[in-house]
Amino acid sequence: MPRTKSQSDIAAIKASAHVAEKAVLEVIAYLRSSNQPSSEAAKEVARTFLTQHGHVSPEGLIVAGGIRTAEPHFTGEGVLKPYTPIVIDIFPQSEATGFFADISRTVCIGDPPERLRAMFAAVHAAQQAAVALLHPGVPCVDIHGAAVAVFESAGYETRGTGAEFTYAEGFVHSIGHGLGVDVHESPGLGAASTDILQVGDVVTVEPGLYYKDIGGVRIEDLFVITETGYTQLTTIPVFLQV
């Protein structure tokens, strides 16, 4: 599969993105309506919706809450408690076309603590700064660097190690990745990337912050690079409190 995508490829990815967005909204609706929501039940809500709309999640999906959301790939287990981060990361594949989508949102049941609000604001600002650079001809490392600059200006770690802990904390992964018939494709959008954005690239932009004592925040959206910049393929609102 070529790195850059044709118009028919992009249409297929957009269709998968629409399903992924709806699945996220189904999970959020479940969180709002349940007296004691659980990760297992929330993931089943998402899987059921995806199946009904011709999509599967062969690599799983994430609905995780609490301090273990400090582990970016923790898929979640147990009760989803109020006043803690809940990370929803859905990356379904269409059974008809084979194309993936990828979207993440972080929400909180009830009034979020101030530190979580600050982390969320920093992640959102980092995403906006990175997205502003999406344009053909831009080095992918610059996209990552834009997010790093926002985090560092706000006092957050970006080297993957916190001052008091021996494992990764702060902004610990690349800003994004390419996507197509695999959920991770070229171009890479990390600190060591040598790729240059091209027209037809489909990429995620997904900054995050992760701390042992509070958990993680990640916001992820999907974009296609156009001659004049980009088109955003995932457009559901970004908000913290549910």
Query: Is pLDDT above 80 for 160?
Result: no
The interaxial angle of helices 39-52 and 7-33, nearest 10 deg, is: 140
Pairwise CA distance, residues 227 & 107, whole Å: 34
Phi-psi region of 66 (alpha: psi -120 to 50; beta: other; left: phi over 0): left
Share of the chain above pLDDT 90, in %: 93
Other Cβ atoms less than 10 A from the Cβ of 42: the count is: 25
Domains and CATH numbers, the chain: 7-232 (3.90.230.10)
Query: Is pLDDT above 90 for 84?
Result: yes
Identify whether 112 is preceded by a cis peptide bond (ω within 30 of 0): no
Pairwise CA distance, residues 208 & 9, whole Å: 28
Mean pLDDT of 73-101: 97
Mean pLDDT of 213-241: 98
Per-residue confidence (pLDDT) for residue 76, from 0 to 100? 97
Tokens found for residue 96: 């008809």
Tokens found for residue 112: 């979020």
Triad 20, 138, 158: Cα angle to 5°: 70
Residue 39: in which H helix or E strand, if any? helix 39-52
Mean pLDDT of the chain: 95
Query: Is pLDDT above 90 for 168?
Result: no
Q: What is the pLDDT of residues 24-51, one digit of tens each?
A: 999 999 999 999 999 999 999 999 999 9
Per-residue confidence (pLDDT) for residue 85, from 0 to 100? 98
Phi, psi of 196 (to 5 degrees): -120, 135
Cα of 13 vs its chain's centroid, Å: 16
Mean pLDDT of 179-201: 97
Q: What is the pLDDT of residues 93-125, one digit of tens each?
A: 999 999 999 999 999 999 999 999 999 999 999
Query: Is pLDDT above 70 for 175?
Result: yes
Per-residue confidence (pLDDT) for residue 236, from 0 to 100? 97
